[in-house]
Amino acid sequence: MSTTGFTDLREKLKAMTPHRDNLKNKIPERTNGGAKKRKYREESEEDTSDQEQREAEAQRVKDGIKQATVFSAQDCALIEQKIDEVVAKGDKGLYREHTVDRAPLRNKYFFGEGYTYGSQLERRGPGQERLYSKGEVDDIPDWVHELVIERLVDRGLLPEGFVNSAVINDYQPGGCIVSHVDPIHIFERPIVSVSLFSDSALCFGCKFQFKPIRVSEPVLYLPVLRGSVTVLSDYAADEITHCIRPQDIKERRAVIILRRTRSDAPRLDTHPISPAPIPSERSNKRSHRRAEPDAAHRPRVLEMDKEESRLSRVRGRRDYSSHEAPGDGPTRRVKMRRH
């Protein structure tokens, strides 16, 4: 041992295999690196899967959308002039009560049919919307039929006689309409809209947050140009929400929405027939009507009246028996006490 310069066998072995120390130092790094790679691979696969699902959903939305440019700049100018007349008439209060609905940066004008929605609902939630009674909103203006509906019928974008509801949404810059599905129990499909005054966009599958207002990324961003017509049906109309984001209204913009209400759509004046009540233990429960002050004492008073009446009858019989003449034997044989 002394001739080789090593005082310990372990030192000699260590000198003969110097690569082992480097190997030990590298093994943990290799292991950690593998874990990081696996984690990155799993995250990448999840991201890829989510992206594929969004793309597939976006395609289903696209399949339910039809767009066409129908109105020229000159056509738009004429229709926009008519919309300005509607706004002026509404400002003067010349429409029926439920024709005009005002909100910050957005006014709605209902024609033909109007319905409750949003804060107007007695009970919140999908399916609670109701049509107003007939005559609660103004009729569809003639110019809407002549300048808009007839053109769309001629282009095959609307069936003849389909439309009985027309709504004009008038947006100011920064206005919006939150994510929603046009009530399926109120309106038939398709839903047709005409975009006017400026270009904008319709977004699908967004989520809104408020104070301050924030909107998530859409599943599909659909440009809508001035003079264009958008037709929604199938998945785009029924299975995913659509909205207009504040950032997509940079100038004044208006849209005319043309729809048909269902024949069985519920109305505010509809009173469903209640089934006949079924007797049950619940029927024995107290009514919620307000009781009169002495109601709780009435059973006791009634019992006291009965007792007083009984005693009066007994006293009367006794008095009658004490005044009977002697010798009225047969009569006495049928005294009341024998019964």
pLDDT of residue 48: 79
Q: For the chain, how big is the Rg over CA atoms in Å? A: 42
Residue 334 pLDDT exceeds 60: no
Active site residue 235: no
Which residue pairs, CB below 8 angstroms and at least 24 apart, start in 78-86? 78/147, 79/143, 79/147, 79/148, 79/194, 79/196, 79/256, 80/196, 80/197, 80/254, 82/141, 82/143, 82/144, 82/147, 83/168, 83/170, 83/196, 83/197, 83/254, 86/141, 86/168
pLDDT of residue 210: 87
pLDDT of residue 128: 86
pLDDT of residue 156: 96
> Of all residues in the chain, what percent carry a pLDDT higher than 70?
63
For residues 129 and 124, give the distance between their C-alpha atoms in angstroms, rounded to a whole number: 9
Residue spans of the domains in the chain: they are 57-261
pLDDT of residue 89: 98
Query: Cβ neighbours of residue 266 under 8 Å, at least 6 residues apart?
Result: 130, 131, 185
What are the residues facing 222 on neighbouring strands? Answer: 202
Residue 95 pLDDT exceeds 90: yes
Q: Band of the pLDDT at 73, cuts 50, 70, 90? A: very high
User: Do 80 and 254 touch, CB atoms closer than 8 A?
Assistant: yes
For residues 272 and 38, give the distance between their C-alpha atoms in angstroms, rounded to a whole number: 61
| Average pLDDT across the chain, whole number | 79
Residue 2 pLDDT exceeds 60: no
Is 238 in a helix, a strand, or coil? helix
User: Do 221 and 184 touch, CB atoms closer than 8 A?
Assistant: no
pLDDT, average across residues 90-115: 96
Q: Which residue has the higher pLDDT, 121 or 330?
A: 121
- Per residue in 149-189, pLDDT (tens digit) is 999 999 999 999 999 999 999 999 999 999 999 999 999 99
- Predicted TM-score (pTM) of the model is 0.67
pLDDT of residue 29: 52
In the block, which residue shows the tokens 């609670």? 128
- The one catalytic residue in 40, 95, 109, 115 is 115
pLDDT of residue 289: 34
Residue 196 sits at the vertex; the CA angle it makes with 193 and 200, to the nearest 5 degrees, is 85
- Provide the strand spans (E) within the chain: 65-69, 100-103, 106-111, 165-171, 177-180, 191-196, 200-204, 208-209, 214-215, 220-224, 228-232, 242-244, 253-259
pLDDT of residue 66: 98
CATH of domain 57-261: 2.60.120.590
User: Do 12 and 18 touch, CB atoms closer than 8 A?
Assistant: no
Residue 292 pLDDT exceeds 80: no
pLDDT, average across residues 254-279: 75
pLDDT of residue 263: 96
- Per residue in 10-43, pLDDT (tens digit) is 665 566 655 555 555 555 555 566 666 666 666 6
In the block, which residue shows the tokens 């003067």? 92
